Structures are given as C-alpha cells and as structure tokens.
Structure 1
Amino acid sequence: MQDPVVRQQIAALGRELGPAMMQGMQQAFDKEQRALVQRQPATATDVPYGEHERQVLDIYGGEPDAATRKPVFVFVHGGGFLKGDKGDDERWYNACVGRMAAEQGWLGVVINYRLAPEFVWPTGGEDLGLVVQWLKINVAAHGGDADKIVLCGTSAGACHVATYLQLHADKTDVRGAVLLSGLYGATPLDERDTQYYGESALYSERMPLPALTASPIPLMVVCTEFDPPRFQQEYLGLLQFRLEANQQLDQSMVLSGHNHYSVAGHLGTSDTRLRDEIAVFVSKVI
C-alpha cells in the first residue's frame, strides 16, 4: 500500500505538469529508489541499437549463463517528445523501471530514443522497432527470451509504444504492451504536440487510436488520480474504443495517490500496487 505521508506529498503537488511536480515526486521516492540502485545495478549500459547517439539502451538483471531465459520488459521514458533520458545510477528516474523488472525476475531494458523537434513522427515508433530487432538477435546473450518481449512506456513513451504497434500492425513479435498515461488520439492536438506530430491537419492520420483498437497485442492501460484531465480522457477513450471493438475490457487501472510523473517514478518502491498489476499482466501474456 501507499504510505499516507507520501500520498499527501503527491496530492499536494497538484495536477500541473512541470519542474515543481517532478522535483517533488523525486524527493518523495528518493530514499527508496537509491536503495533500489544499490540492489539492482545495471548489467550493461549504453548498448547501441542504432547509429544515432541516442539510440542506446541499458539492461538490468542480465544473466548470460542462466538456465532459463527471462521475459524481457522494455521501458520507454516520457518527456513530452522533446526531452527525457533512461537514467543511470545517479539519476534513478526511468532507470527504476528496469530495476523493478529485474527484481521481478525479468530482464529489464530501458532505452533512449531520438527527440523532437529534430526527429518527428514516427521516429519514436521506428526507434522502438530497432530495439525489438536488436533484442531478437542479441537478448539471449544477456539471458533474455526473445519470444517473450513486453513493451512499456510512460507519457510520450506510451505514445511511441502505441506508434510501434501502429507501424507493425501485421506483426505479433511482442507479447503485450503496458501504456502509462499516454496520448492515443482521443483528444484534440495540443500545441506542444505539433513539434512531434506536425500540424493539426496531420494529427488524425498519425495518431494510433484506430490501430490500437484493432491490435491483436494485449494491452494494459493505466492513468493516475492526479493526471491532467487530458490524459484521463485519453485513458477512457482508448478503453472505450477497445471495449466496443472487442466486447471485453482490457486490464486497466486508475492508480490512486499518484501523478503523471510518479506513475513510473514510484516503481520499485514499497508501493507495489501497480507493479503487482503489471506482473499479473506479464504472467498472462507470456
């Protein structure tokens, strides 16, 4: 369960995205996350999966000589398409998801990708495609099972996971996707989004909602109590489209006591509610 003091701290940060929310969130979880850094060091860092300097990934929980290959849990960071990083020992945010995966007995993979405005839609999904290609060839050397890949992204990272599924609608080379507080095309274009998606006229054809609705890949969809309204609307919109198409509700969660940044930033701490739901999802799809 969530510590009541931490819940109060998160609630006090409100719903407005920005540096104050990020700083407050990191302060709330810093002690536990730094303990996780000590327990789960990276087993490989800055491994290239492409030619650009940002096309690199880190691996957590690698065991080349393991008797049994591990499921592979790939995490894609957020940052509004313009910034963000996979983290490291000093900057635990985002890296914590890979460490959480390692503690679950999975192979955690946390990636960087090319950023807007230099790189625009659909480069995020294309970069993730390169990651999957790299894993199919190389992950066994780190103890991972290339046939048991699950993708996870938060915010812009969730958009890139969705775009990957859009670009590879005819493939089933991943087992499932966990979408944390992302944008899928259920709400109008935001001005900031144009730096990645382009002008409004291109928005509807570039957003992945139709492809996600029809995707055979199992989805887990999450938003938080203190997400801005737009992200909550996107959560409901995607679930509604999927329900109408499939006559079955996807595994989903509105995570109480958390905000847009802490949905990923708390993973690996003593608040295991989301981690446990993700573990149920992974166990079902692999």
Structure 2
Amino acid sequence: MKRYLTPLAALAILATTHVASAQVVETPDIAKNLHDLGNQLTRETVGATMKIYGPLHAQTKTGGIEKVADQTYGPAERNVLDVYRPEDANGSQPIMIFAHGGGFVRGDKAGAANIGTYFAKHGVVTIVINYRFAPDSQWPSGPEDVANVMSWVRDNAAIHGGDPANVVLAGNSAGSAHVAAYALYESYQIENDGLIGLILISPPTANLTDHEIDPQRDALYYGTDKSTFAERSYINKLYGRTVPIMVAVSQYDIPLVQSQAGQLVQALFERDGHLPVLSTAVGHNHISIVEHIGTGDETLGPDMLEFIKYQSLGMGK
C-alpha cells in the first residue's frame, strides 16, 4: 500500500519549491487583501478576489494576437473552445490547452481569457476550453471531453497555427482533474496526440480516498460510491504514460489542495526518483493563482512558460 503525506508534510515539501519573481509584493494593497482573505474557499473569498482582478483584466491589451472563438470540438453543447494565437503563428509554436476551474459544476472559457492572451503574447498557441458539467455529466466526461479536444488539435492545425506534436495540457482546480485523467488513464487517450507535458494548478482530487468529498461539487461528478474512488484517483495511475508534470499551488490555497498536491509530489518523487517541476505562488489564493496571470504580476506565468518551452525542446523526458 502506498504511503501518502500528511497535510503538514505536504506543506513542508511545497515550502521548499522554487518561487518565481513574486511581484504581488509590488502591489502592497493587493497583497494585503489576499493575505486577509485567508485560505478558505467561500463566496466572499471568490467575489473579493474577482473584484481585485476584474478591472486589471479590463486593461489588458491584445495587440499581436488573434482570437478564433467558439470552435466546436465535440457533440455536446459545451464542447466549444477558443484559440488564442500569436499573429505570426506558423506551425512551429508549442500549444497549451487550458481547462478552467469551477468545482465541476460551473465556469466558462471566457473567464480564462487572461490565460489565452498572456501565453499567446509569449509565443504559445493557447486553447481555452469549455467542458461538460456535473451532475448532468459525471465521470468520465472530463477525460472524454479532453480526448475530443486533443483530436480537434491534431486535425485542425490550419485553424490553431501551432505544432500538434508539442502539446501541453493545463488546468486549474477541477480543470486539473480533467486534464490529468486524460493524460494518465490510457483508455481515454487518442493516438498521436502530441502530449509532451501536464500542468496541474491547485489540484483538488488526485486522491479521492483520504477525505470526505464535497457533496456540492466533487461528489456530483465522481459519485458517492466509495468503492470507485481508488480507481478514479489519478494518483494511482502514474505508472502508465510517464508524462512530465508540473504542480503549482498558492501560498493561501485551500487546505485540501495543499494536502492533495503534497501527496501527488511524493508519488511523483517515488515514480521518477526526483521531484516534479514545482511552483508556489507566493501571496496568492485558490482563485488569484490564475487570475493574476496577465496583469503584470509575474508570479506563476514565467514558470509555466519555462516548463512549456523546456518540454518542447524534448528535455523533460
């Protein structure tokens, strides 16, 4: 039986990780507001964080990139995606596919426009997706949707303008669960998908067996039959395709995420003999870890870019 880290041990490992230029300190008012909000995920926390970053996103300049909106990638109503591509995209640029968070029951690709714009400005063709929601769509709708996205990327190079042989999957919170399930469960993977790396931001459900899952979010997607939880825990699927993985959390991430990320780091260490690529977003919370990207705060974005470009060189295998 595998031994997993306690939440305290998980925090100890993550505290030793490389920290990017933590420019949230250059906006002391924002840093204080995020600090005061703490590490609990409540409506108040979400609303207050979005109130900070909404006006900053509104100031984003989009020159130098092209957006191709609302491309259909599958049969469901929510199977649509947006492409953010550098104007000079010529088929050689790496591709990042990003799945938003939302507790498996909400969210929209429009809320991740900052992700698409930021990475396209830095030479990465970025595809931001919608996916089906629970409870109408349950496990394994997530990896099924990602598989359809991967097929679309493989077959539509003329639209997205990137290199289908250099694809990184990324997601935050619930979105991280969907991209991880595709990347690690071989039964959902398509042929010649070009996957070179996986970025998991604030992963909440690597191991479903060590806690009571949230009845208003996670249980609506994974169900309540505990006998299925080990099979649906992707921490138990790391020994198939050993794709390079980056794990990112925020300093004020929710305790469950801190524990889950720590367990995942330990499991990847046992698999690979070294730590995975790690990033701790100093001063940020479960929402701001992605909302700050593209606002001038360079806490997490550069680490993700470095990971993507390193994998595209073939160095991460």
What's the TM-score, normalizing by structure 2? 0.83
Q: Which of structures 1 and 2 has the larger relative contact order (alpha carbons within 8 angstroms, sep 6+)? A: 2
Query: How far 1:96 moved relative to its partner?
Result: 1.1
Is 1:52 aligned with 2:70?
Answer: no
1:20-73: CA deviation from partner (whole Å, max 9, x where unpaired): 21221122222321122544775211110011110000011254x744532111
CA distance in 1, matches of 2:239, 2:278: 15
Could you say which residue in structure 1 is the equivalent of 2:156?
138
Q: Which amino acid counterpart does residue 26 of structure 1 have in structure 2?
A: M
Could you say which residue in structure 1 is the equivalent of 2:275?
249
Could you say which residue in structure 1 is the equivalent of 2:5?
none
Identity %: 32
Could you say which residue in structure 1 is the equivalent of 2:93?
70
> Which residue, 165, 170, 184 being the options, matches 2:206?
184
Is 1:207 aligned with 2:233?
Answer: yes
> Which residue, 136, 148, 152 being the options, matches 2:166?
148
Could you say which residue in structure 2 is the equivalent of 1:82?
105
Residues 56 and 62 (structure 1), Cα distance of their counterparts in 2 relative to 1, 3 Å cut: farther
Q: How many residues align?
A: 280
Residues 18 and 142 (structure 1), Cα distance of their counterparts in 2 relative to 1, 3 Å cut: same
Residues 68 and 113 (structure 1), Cα distance of their counterparts in 2 relative to 1, 3 Å cut: closer
Given that residues 171 and 177 in structure 2 are in contact (C-alpha distance below 8 angstroms), is that contact kept between their aligned partners in structure 1? Answer: yes
Please state whether the residue corresponding to 2:74 is helix, strand or coil: coil
Unaligned 5+ segments in structure 1 are 88-92
Q: Which moved more, 1:206-215 or 1:122-131?
A: 206-215
CA distance in 1, matches of 2:86, 2:265: 34
Alignment of 1:25-36 (within 5 A): 25-36=49-60
CA distance in 1, matches of 2:243, 2:67: 29
1:222-275: CA deviation from partner (whole Å, max 9, x where unpaired): 111111111000111000011012111111022111011111111112111211
> Which residue, 157, 171, 174 being the options, matches 2:195?
174
Could you say which residue in structure 2 is the equivalent of 1:272?
298
CA distance in 1, matches of 2:31, 2:64: 26
CA distance in 2, matches of 1:5, 1:213: 44
> Which residue, 222, 244, 256 being the options, matches 1:197?
222
Given that residues 62 and 142 in structure 1 are in contact (C-alpha distance below 8 angstroms), is that contact kept between their aligned partners in structure 2? Answer: no
Please state whether the residue corresponding to 2:168 is helix, strand or coil: strand
Q: Which moved more, 1:71-80 or 1:7-16?
A: 7-16
Query: How far 1:76 moved relative to its partner?
Result: 0.1
> Which residue, 78, 99, 111 being the options, matches 2:117?
99
CA distance in 2, matches of 1:244, 1:155: 24
Residues 18 and 94 (structure 1), Cα distance of their counterparts in 2 relative to 1, 3 Å cut: farther
Query: How far 1:142 moved relative to its partner?
Result: 2.7
Given that residues 40 and 99 in structure 1 are in contact (C-alpha distance below 8 angstroms), is that contact kept between their aligned partners in structure 2? Answer: no
Unaligned 5+ segments in structure 2 are 1-22, 313-317
Query: How far 1:137 moved relative to its partner?
Result: 0.5
Could you say which residue in structure 2 is the equivalent of 1:109?
127
Q: Which amino acid counterpart does residue 260 of structure 1 have in structure 2?
A: H
Q: Which amino acid counterpart does residue 57 of structure 1 have in structure 2?
A: L
RMSD: 1.9
Query: How far 1:19 moved relative to its partner?
Result: 2.2
What's the TM-score, normalizing by structure 1? 0.92
Given that residues 179 and 220 in structure 1 are in contact (C-alpha distance below 8 angstroms), is that contact kept between their aligned partners in structure 2? Answer: yes
Could you say which residue in structure 1 is the equivalent of 2:245?
219
Q: Which moved more, 1:135-144 or 1:218-227?
A: 135-144
Q: Which moved more, 1:67-76 or 1:175-184?
A: 67-76
